[in-house]
Amino acid sequence: LLKNEERWAHKRDWKAHFAGRLRRSWRAMEFAPVERAVESLGRGGLVVVVDSTNRKDECDVVFAADQVTTERMAFVIRHSTGIIYVAADQGRLEHFGLSPATQVNTDRFANRAYVSTTFLPGSSTGLSAADRAATARALCNRSNKAEFFSKPGHMFPVVADAGGVLARPGHTEAAFDLCRLAGRAPVGCLTELTHDDGSMLRRDAALEFGKKHNIPVITVDQLVEYRRAHDKFPNAPNPDSIPSIRGLDLPTLDGSGLKIAIVSARWNSVVCESLVQAATEAMNSCNVQDITVEYVAGSYEIPSAAQVLLETGRYDGIICIGCLIKGETMHFEYINEAVTQGVMRLNLDYKIPVIYGILSCLDEDQAKARSGLAGSGHNSGKEWGMTCIESVLLKKRYRRSSRL
């Protein structure tokens, strides 16, 4: 009888051990590949990063600061502690006049917190989702002056170790590394996810959250292994280059109340749709909500369609979006010249900003690279959206001055 009991006890222990291994294996399979997380963040999406159970055992949602919209910031605030951290290198934070929050750091994880801040231009209370998104984006633009940032404020900068997760395997460095791997500005936002009752999300709950909201979930350990296998950042911006050489240095703008129209070609629709989406998201991030999108067959029809919208007098600005890819005949050159002249003439005749958003490409690879479809993270539509708002605000500012 005793031997039978021992045999049954051993069998129960073996079953429990095997079941535990199955559960651990099943959970591991649910974590997304790091490549998917990098791709998501590069497109402006969210990533959930799970810490080690031997460390904080917390789950943070991470996203790129340079692409954050008001809507995305509001979503993150609703599902978290509401304290939004901004991870960046020490030089960047001190460039904006920020300094350590304390001279005696007793944090058990050696978290290098800097004084909280809010970007002042266009800010109301600094605490709204729109204001916090504007502060995050402003910290990506080194042309902003230190006096533009209040100290203290409502966003919480933390210094990321230059070595990333290989030097310090924490959420701060995970956000920093993911931005660099995705080719974004090396400034990441992060915050701890919580349940509705205020308690912290753990691994299983994080996986459920990611599944529910279609957000990739990875672990810090995964990212460490990925960094060991990929010791360089092939898509990261070159810190030695002048920002303006790399493209448009995007300002932080408030386009509240503006009415903008987009006229897009259906020809090369995959490229054009990606450009329209990026332009729309960029304007949404600047508080532009009244956006009309109209479609025409091809780029050649865009100037006449834009003229129809301008004649209504309803819009403050127009963005013309199309994509021309060179073929084997002169058709490309003729259409390109006609559209360019047409858009330029609309600007001169109507005195309203009409943005030229027509890609002129030698092949499909160039079109994909400029519309965010090649995995590089760059999408010209974002720049066109910001350019339109900046041009409209410039016109309004000088028109207001001329009436005084």
Condensed to tens digits (0 to 9), the pLDDT of residues 315-367 reads 999 999 999 998 877 888 889 999 999 999 999 999 999 999 999 988 888 89
Which of 89-98, 116-125, 142-151 has maximum average pLDDT? 89-98
Give buried/exposed letters for 35-59 (b at 16+ CB in 10 A, else e): eebbbbbbbbbbbbbbbeeeebebb
Q: What is the pLDDT of residue 142?
A: 80
| Rounded mean pLDDT, 53-63 | 81
Q: Which of 5-19, 59-73, 85-99 shows the lowest mean pLDDT across its residues? A: 5-19
Does pLDDT of 100 surpass 50?
A: yes
**Residue 313 backbone class (left: φ over 0; alpha: ψ -120 to 50; beta: rest):** left
Does pLDDT of 272 surpass 90?
A: yes
| Rounded mean pLDDT, 23-47 | 80
What percentage of residues in the chain have a pLDDT greater than 70? 84
Q: What is the pLDDT of residue 399?
A: 73
pLDDT tens for each residue of 158-204: 999 989 999 999 999 999 999 999 888 899 999 999 999 999 998 89
Q: How confident is the model at residue 6 (pLDDT cuts 50, 70, 90)?
A: low
Considering the chain, what is the average pLDDT of its residues? 85
Its pTM surpasses 0.75: no
Does pLDDT of 403 surpass 50?
A: no
Q: Which residues contact 249 (CB under 8 A, 6 or more apart)?
A: 141, 143, 243
Q: What is the pLDDT of residue 234?
A: 55
Q: How confident is the model at residue 244 (pLDDT cuts 50, 70, 90)?
A: very low
Distances (CA, A) of 214 to 123, 145, 202, 206, 210: 32, 38, 18, 12, 5
How many angstroms separate the CA atoms of 304 and 253, rounded? Answer: 29
Q: What is the pLDDT of residue 183?
A: 84
Chain centroid to Cα 33, Å, comes to: 19
Q: How confident is the model at residue 243 (pLDDT cuts 50, 70, 90)?
A: very low
Q: Which residues contact 118 (CB under 8 A, 6 or more apart)?
A: 126, 131, 132, 135, 149, 150, 153, 154, 155
The burial of 138, by beta-carbon neighbours within 10 Å (0-12 exposed, 13-18 middle, 19 or more buried), is given as buried
Q: Are the C-beta atoms of residues 209 and 193 closer than 8 Å to each other? A: yes
Other beta carbons less than 10 A from residue 352's beta carbon: 18
Q: Which residue has the higher pLDDT, 104 or 354?
A: 354
Q: How confident is the model at residue 125 (pLDDT cuts 50, 70, 90)?
A: confident
Q: What is the pLDDT of residue 308?
A: 96
Q: What is the pLDDT of residue 123?
A: 78
- Among 101, 64, 58, CA closest to 80: 58
What's the order of all strands across the beta sheet hosting 317-325?
290-296, 259-265, 317-325, 354-361
How many angstroms separate the CA atoms of 322 and 211, rounded? Answer: 35
Does pLDDT of 144 surpass 80?
A: yes
Q: Which residue has the higher pLDDT, 377 or 236?
A: 377
Q: Which of 54-58, 87-91, 133-137, 297-301 shows the lowest mean pLDDT across its residues? A: 54-58
Does pLDDT of 237 surpass 60?
A: no
Q: Are the C-beta atoms of residues 313 and 282 closer than 8 Å to each other? A: no
Does pLDDT of 103 surpass 50?
A: yes
How many angstroms separate the CA atoms of 73 and 321, rounded? Answer: 27
Q: Residue 317, SS3? A: strand
Does pLDDT of 248 surpass 90?
A: no
Q: Which residue has the higher pLDDT, 82 or 144?
A: 82
Following DSSP, what letter does each residue of 351-402 receive, concatenated?
Answer: -S-EEEEEEEESSHHHHHHHBT-SSS--BHHHHHHHHHHHHHHHHHHHHHHH
